[in-house]
Structure 1
C-alpha cells in the first residue's frame, strides 16, 4: 500500500479508465505513477514511456502472472 505524508496534497481520483487497466510486463507505461501488481501486491514507480518491469523482475509465490495497475498517478503542471 502506498504511503503518503500530507493528506491535504492528495486527491481522490474520479472514475478514470487509467486506474482500471491492467498492463502486461514490458509494455510502455501510459502514465507516470505508482503501479501495483494485481496478483502479489508488489508496487513499483514507473515513468511514462518507459517499459513496465519485465516478467522476471520479481517472482510470485504462485504461478499467477504479473499485471501492473495504476495506484497513484503523478500529475505535473
Structure 2
C-alpha cells in the first residue's frame, strides 16, 4: 500500500485512469505508482516506460495473472 506523511501533497480523483489494468510489458500511460492487483506489489514508473514483465515477480494460482493498476498519479505539470 502506498504510504504518505503529509496529505496536503495529495488530491483525491475519480478519474477513469485509476480503473484500467495493464499487462506485463505494457507502456505506462501515466507517471506514478502502479500496484499489481494479484499480489499488491508496487512500483514507481515514468510515463511511457514499460511496466515490469512476467519475470519481475511470480504469483500463486490464487493471485491470478499479473496486472498493473495506477494507484497514485504523479502530476508533472507546473502549477
TM-score when scaled to structure 2? 0.90
Q: SS where residue 18 of structure 1 aligns?
A: helix
Q: Displacement of 1:60 after TM fit?
A: 1.1
| CA distance, structure 2, for counterparts of residue 8 and residue 29 of structure 1 | 26
Q: Displacement of 1:26 after TM fit?
A: 0.3
| CA distance, structure 1, for counterparts of residue 15 and residue 10 of structure 2 | 16
After the TM superposition, which segments of 4 or more aligned residues of structure 1 sit over 6 Å from their partners? Answer: none
Q: Alignment RMSD, CA only?
A: 1.1
**Structure 2 unaligned regions, length at least 5:** none
Q: SS where residue 25 of structure 2 aligns?
A: coil
| CA distance, structure 2, for counterparts of residue 8 and residue 35 of structure 1 | 21
Q: SS where residue 5 of structure 1 aligns?
A: coil
Aligned length: 76
TM-score when scaled to structure 1? 0.92
**Structure 1 unaligned regions, length at least 5:** none
Match of 1:57 in 2: 56
| CA distance, structure 2, for counterparts of residue 47 and residue 60 of structure 1 | 24
Query: Are 1:72 and 2:56 counterparts?
Result: no
Q: Displacement of 1:10 after TM fit?
A: 1.0
Q: Displacement of 1:62 after TM fit?
A: 2.5
